[in-house]
C-alpha cells in the first residue's frame, strides 16, 4: 500500500539576530517540523557583525529562506546599541543586570521586528512566528515579557486579513522560561555551533566579544553553569 499524501507545509517566520538564543530558536522551529523563514534586521546596531553571522546560521540550520531588512532605528536615539555616544554598560553585577531597563534597550524594537515578521508571515500564508526572548533577559526589557507576547498575538488576530478570517497567529518563544545554561544545553543538543554566534553588544571588528557587557556576562555564566566550553570567546 502506497504512502499517504504529505501533509500541508507548516511555515514559520523566525527572528534571527545572529546570537545564540535566536539561532537555538531557529533550530527548535526546524525540529518542530516548520519550514523556516529567517528574518534579520540591519537597524543601525553598533554590533552589525551579527547580520553577517545570521546569514551563516540561516544556511547552517536549514532555513528555507533568509531575508535581511534594512530598518534604521537610529533616528529614535536613546539606546547604547544604536547611538555610539551612549556607553554600553560594562562589568555590572547580576543584581544590577536584573534590575531596571538598561541603556541597551532599543525603543519598541521587538514590537517593530514582530510587526515586520507578521507582514511576511501573512504573505507566506503562515500564522506562526518565533522569537528568541528568554526569562534571563526579559527582566530588563519590556518587549521580552510574556504579557507583551500575548498582547501581540491578540493584536495580530485583529490587524490582519488572515486573523479576521479565523487564522489565529501564534508567537512562539520556546526559550522564554529557560535559563542561559539550559539554552546552551539545547544549542548543543540541536547541533548549533556557538562559535558562529555573536552575543556581545560591543564586539570587535571580527566579532570578538568584549567580555564585560551584560550579554557577554550572561553568556559566560550560561556556558559555565552548563559545563560547556564557549568556542565563541
pLDDT in tens, the chain (233 residues): 445 556 688 999 999 999 999 999 999 999 999 999 999 999 999 888 999 999 999 999 999 999 999 999 999 888 999 999 999 999 998 888 888 889 999 999 999 999 999 999 999 999 999 999 986 655 578 888 899 999 999 999 999 999 999 999 999 999 999 999 999 999 999 999 999 999 999 998 888 999 999 999 999 999 999 999 999 88
The number of beta carbons lying within 10 Å of the beta carbon of residue 165 is: 7
Q: Which helix (H) or strand (E) element contains residue 66?
A: strand 65-70
- Each domain of the chain, given as residue ranges in start order, spans 11-226
Q: Distance (Å, rounded) from C-alpha 177 to C-alpha 90?
A: 25
Closest CA to 17 of 169, 213, 225, 207: 207
pLDDT of residue 139: 59
Helix 214-226 vs helix 180-190: angle between axes, to the nearest 10 degrees? Answer: 70
Q: 106 with 82: CB under 8 angstroms?
A: yes
pLDDT of residue 232: 87
Q: Which cell numbers hold the place of 208?
A: 570578538
Q: Distance (Å, rounded) from C-alpha 227 to C-alpha 181?
A: 8
| 188 alpha carbon, distance to own chain's centre | 17
Q: Does CATH number 3.10.20.30 belong to domain 11-226?
A: no
pTM of the predicted structure, to 2 decimals: 0.94
Q: Which cell numbers hold the place of 209?
A: 566579544
Amino acid at each position: 500500500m502506497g504512502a499517504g499524501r504529505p501533509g500541508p507545509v507548516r511555515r514559520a517566520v523566525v527572528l534571527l539576530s545572529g546570537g545564540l538564543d535566536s539561532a537555538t530558536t531557529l533550530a527548535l522551529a526546524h525540529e518542530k517540523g516548520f519550514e523556516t523563514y529567517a528574518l534579520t534586521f540591519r537597524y543601525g546596531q553598533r554590533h552589525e557583525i551579527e547580520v553577517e553571522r545570521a546569514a551563516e546560521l540561516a544556511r547552517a540550520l536549514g532555513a528555507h529562506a533568509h531575508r535581511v531588512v534594512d530598518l534604521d532605528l537610529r533616528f529614535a536615539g536613546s539606546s547604547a546599541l544604536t547611538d555610539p555616544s551612549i556607553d554600553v554598560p560594562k562589568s555590572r553585577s547580576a543584581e544590577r543586570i536584573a534590575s531596571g531597563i538598561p541603556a541597551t534597550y532599543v525603543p519598541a524594537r521587538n514590537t517593530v521586528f514582530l510587526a515586520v515578521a507578521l507582514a511576511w508571515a501573512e504573505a507566506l500564508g503562515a500564522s506562526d512566528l518565533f522569537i528568541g526572548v528568554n526569562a534571563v533577559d526579559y527582566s530588563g526589557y519590556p518587549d521580552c515579557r510574556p504579557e507583551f507576547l500575548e498582547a501581540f498575538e491578540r493584536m495580530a488576530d485583529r490587524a490582519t486579513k488572515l486573523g479576521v478570517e479565523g487564522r489565529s497567529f501564534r508567537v512562539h518563544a520556546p526559550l522564554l522560561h529557560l535559563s542561559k545554561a539550559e539554552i546552551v544545553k539545547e544549542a548543543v543538543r540541536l547541533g548549533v555551533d556557538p562559535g558562529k554566534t555573536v552575543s556581545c553588544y560591543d564586539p570587535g571588528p571580527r566579532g570578538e566579544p568584549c567580555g564585560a557587557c551584560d550579554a557577554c556576562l550572561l553568556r559566560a555564566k550560561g556556558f559555565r553553569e552548563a559545563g560547556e566550553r564557549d568556542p565563541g570567546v
